[in-house]
Structure 1
Amino acid sequence: MITVVGTGTGAPLPDDVLAGASLVVGGRRHLDAVRLPDRAEQVVLGPLAPALDTIAEYTDQELPVVVLASGDPGFFGIVRALSERFGAGLLDVRPGVSSVAMAFARIGVPWDDAVVVSAHGRKLRTAVNACRALPKVAVLTGPGAGPGELGAALGGGRVLVVASALGDPRHERVERVTPAEAAARDWGAAVSVVLCLDEARVLGALRTVAGAPARPTRWALAESDFTHRDSMITKFEVRALALARLGPRLGDLVWDVGAGSGSVAVECVRLGAAVVAVEKTSDGVERIHANARAHGVDVHVVHGSAPQALSGLADDPDAVFVGGGGRELPAVVTACARRARRTVVVAMAALDRVPAAREALTAAGFGCEGVLLQSSRLAPLPGDVTRLAATNPVFLLWGDRSPASGEGVAL
């Protein structure tokens, strides 16, 4: 039997757990915090594979093994690896309080509507983009992915709550800092979890389902759901296909270039992605902000003209929607395609610009497909009859990066 015990967040270790253990496995701080049986071998957790091999030697002989872990070992913890290797039936799991639960408890905030992202042994970008898009995120940190790195990548607009040494009465600290303050400090190795909060929305609405927000029940919203100028907005028929090809999801970063009203940007955030909207006009920037507020989402807006403004964006996007560009469209598509990790979608009203946009995509290693979208909407006529009102045709091109190109496709 393998007994897995969650420790380190204030819960005392049950007296009977270590008695009779032939092997005790855990981190250095977990092992130092308990009194081990005299004859028990101990393994300090580092690389997981050798520890699992040692555990296998003892279980093959039916000798009792104890594994000490932090908090709830079934929550982004070692229970997954142990269950995969030895089977759930061999495990006796005794969870402690997770660091996430304890951190939220320390600040008196409910966390049923929080999204939890692990950056331990994983790339930080998924956590960063979740923090940009959502009002309440808990980030499980690791070497190279701590509060400093998170703060440096995140920028403003959020508060970070850094919880260190949770459950240790002598060393526990829970500190509220700005991302810039987090980036300027060396936090050491005692950080348990980082909470990233939009304090204006930290309580949120009453939820029925915990965790990530439910996907919206509708997308490709009507133009009337957005403030726009003289019908200068991506029509919902075009937006529906563009969203399908962009595939925005939690942890993604999407650029909306030539954003206009920001309808595509807003919809991408509603579907879970973080979004940067690039818009050259001042009144357009204001409209994007207004539409984001109206839909209760965060859109980071950059006031500038593409392609020049794109060079100031530090993080490469997963997907890009290009809805404007004029004569600069080929250069804009080229700049976007060079940096997009997965997909570029381009909407154009002018037939003359299609070949150059297509060439820009294929030259950057993307496949390219496209359609001409032309719809006719039902419209009332006097006499209680209906006609078909044609919308302006729009060309939609999209390209997906070929894995063979070797560019950044890994999450």
Structure 2
Amino acid sequence: MITVVGTGTGAPLDEDVLGGAELVVGGRRHLDAVRPAEGVERVVLGALAPALDVIAEYVEKDRRVVVLASGDPGFFGIVRVLAERFGPERLDVRPGVSSLAAAFARIGLTWDDAVVVSAHGRDLHTAVNVCRARPKVAVLTGPGAGPAELGAALVRRAEGRVLVVASALGSAGERVERVTPAEAAARDWGASVSVVLCLDPARASGGGVRTVAGAGPGPTAWALDEGEFAHRDSMITKFEVRALALARLGPRLGDLVWDVGAGSGSVAVECARLGAAVTAVEKTRDGVERIRANAVAHDVDVHVVHGAAPTVLSDLDDPDAVFVGGGGRELPAIVTACARRARRSVVVAMAALDRVPATREALTGAGFDCDGVLLQSSRLAPLPGDVTRLAATNPVFLLWGLRNPLDREGVAQ
């Protein structure tokens, strides 16, 4: 039997749990805090594979093992790998208070509506994008992915966010500090950070009764009617085009999407409603204000960059997906710049037939599999006498490039 005990953020470890143990495994600070009986083997949990091999030797001989972990070991913890290796029936899990529960308790906030993302041993990309897209996020940190790195990635890209850095929770040296992303980026936080909360103070308190924990269930509809957005002289991506563009972009929580030549920001807003972090690039000042107003109206976060592509793209983080909805004569250069950076897909909408070949060449030249359609639709429109006619919308070419998920060599680093 393997007894897995969560320690560190709740009540002190019950020493009786070590009774009869022949092997105790844990981080150095966990092992230093307990006193196993004489002759009990101790293994410092560093590299996981060697520790699992030692545990296997004891389990095969039916000898008792105790594994010490932080907080709740069944939440982004060691229970997963132990269950995969030895089977859940061999585990006796005794959870402690998780670092998340403790951190939110310290600042007096509920966390059933928080999104939790782990950056421990993982690319920080996903955690950063979740922090940009959601008002209440908890980030489990690790070496190279701590408060300083998270703060540096959020400066100028997550307006109004506050970071709560909880260190050494449950110990005499516990600290819970509120800082801006810039302040977090400027400090050396050491190795005692337990968790970082990223909050939008205006929305972090939540409200109402929740049924499902974590991120909300998402929108009940997409490809919204153009009337749902402020726009100028019908200069907006029509909902038929938006529906297919969203299908090819595939925006989701943890992604970053660029909307280049955003206009009204309808695509940007729809991607944000589906959970993605979004950067909208728009060269006109009135367009920038219109995008911001549409984002507020739909209660989503959209980072708006005022400037002309492709020049301003060099300052942006690499996207997972890109929608290009404008560009004029610069379109091939814009698509080329986007395709060099996009991890997964680039979708381009255009009205001019003449620009299709160059756009297609830009996508295929960047290593994308390219496809496309000419979208022509006719909407129902009323006529006098209680009859209906078909009103044609302007035809639009939609091209998309999809990168093979096994092929990342083409993505600029």
Structure 1 residue 404, shift from structure 2 partner? 3.8
Q: Are residues 1:34 and 2:65 paired?
A: no
Aligned counterparts of 2:46 and 2:118: Cα–Cα separation in 1:
18
Structure 1 residue 212, shift from structure 2 partner? 1.5
2:223 aligned residue:
220
1:108 aligned residue:
108
Deviations 1:39-72 (A, max 9, x none): 1100000010100000010011111000000000
Aligned counterparts of 1:237 and 1:370: Cα–Cα separation in 2:
14
Paired AA for residue 248 in structure 2: R
2:402 aligned residue:
400
Q: Given the alignment, which residue of 303, 306, 323 partners 1:321?
A: 323
2:174 aligned residue:
172
2:48 aligned residue:
48
SS of residue in 1 equivalent to 2:17: coil
2:239 aligned residue:
236
Query: Could you list the runs of 5+ residues in structure 1 that have no partner in the other structure?
Result: none
CA contact (8 A) 2:341 2:412 kept: no
2:165 aligned residue:
162
Aligned counterparts of 2:24 and 2:60: Cα–Cα separation in 1:
16
CA contact (8 A) 1:246 1:321 kept: yes
CA contact (8 A) 1:342 1:409 kept: no
Paired AA for residue 229 in structure 2: F
SS of residue in 1 equivalent to 2:188: coil
SS of residue in 2 equivalent to 1:275: strand
Paired AA for residue 169 in structure 2: L
Structure 1 residue 367, shift from structure 2 partner? 1.1
Q: Given the alignment, which residue of 350, 356, 359 partners 1:357?
A: 359
CA contact (8 A) 2:340 2:412 kept: no
Paired AA for residue 146 in structure 1: G
2:298 aligned residue:
295
Structure 1 residue 324, shift from structure 2 partner? 0.4
SS of residue in 1 equivalent to 2:296: helix
Structure 1 residue 10, shift from structure 2 partner? 3.0
2:118 aligned residue:
118
2:17 aligned residue:
17
Structure 1 residue 405, shift from structure 2 partner? 5.7
- Change in CA separation of 1:44 and 1:177 when aligned onto 2, cut-off 3 Å: same
Structure 1 residue 409, shift from structure 2 partner? 10
Aligned counterparts of 1:108 and 1:346: Cα–Cα separation in 2:
46
User: Number of aligned pairs?
Assistant: 408
Q: Are residues 1:341 and 2:346 paired?
A: no
Aligned counterparts of 1:108 and 1:95: Cα–Cα separation in 2:
22
1:65 aligned residue:
65
SS of residue in 2 equivalent to 1:82: helix
Aligned counterparts of 2:367 and 2:303: Cα–Cα separation in 1:
28
CA contact (8 A) 2:133 2:300 kept: yes
Structure 1 residue 363, shift from structure 2 partner? 0.9
SS of residue in 2 equivalent to 1:335: helix
Paired AA for residue 373 in structure 1: L
SS of residue in 1 equivalent to 2:202: helix
Aligned counterparts of 2:25 and 2:388: Cα–Cα separation in 1:
75
CA RMSD of aligned residues (A): 1.1
CA contact (8 A) 1:377 1:388 kept: yes
1:308 aligned residue:
311
Deviations 1:337-381 (A, max 9, x none): 111111000000111111111111111111110000010000100
Deviations 1:220-243 (A, max 9, x none): 000000000000000000000000
Paired AA for residue 400 in structure 2: W
Q: Given the alignment, which residue of 356, 378, 383 partners 1:381?
A: 383
1:249 aligned residue:
252
- Change in CA separation of 1:284 and 1:141 when aligned onto 2, cut-off 3 Å: same
Paired AA for residue 298 in structure 1: D
Paired AA for residue 391 in structure 1: T
Deviations 1:161-191 (A, max 9, x none): 00000001x2000000000000000000000
Aligned counterparts of 1:75 and 1:408: Cα–Cα separation in 2:
33
Aligned counterparts of 2:36 and 2:64: Cα–Cα separation in 1:
13
Deviations 1:244-300 (A, max 9, x none): 000001110000000000000000011010000000000000000000000000100
| TM-score normalised to structure 2 length | 0.97
2:128 aligned residue:
128
Range with bigger deviation, 155-164 or 258-267:
155-164
SS of residue in 2 equivalent to 1:188: coil
SS of residue in 2 equivalent to 1:372: strand
Range with bigger deviation, 58-67 or 12-21:
12-21
2:285 aligned residue:
282
CA contact (8 A) 1:341 1:409 kept: no
Aligned counterparts of 1:264 and 1:205: Cα–Cα separation in 2:
28
SS of residue in 1 equivalent to 2:173: coil
CA contact (8 A) 1:161 1:174 kept: yes
Paired AA for residue 286 in structure 1: E
Aligned counterparts of 2:85 and 2:263: Cα–Cα separation in 1:
53
Structure 1 residue 14, shift from structure 2 partner? 1.8
Aligned counterparts of 2:312 and 2:117: Cα–Cα separation in 1:
30
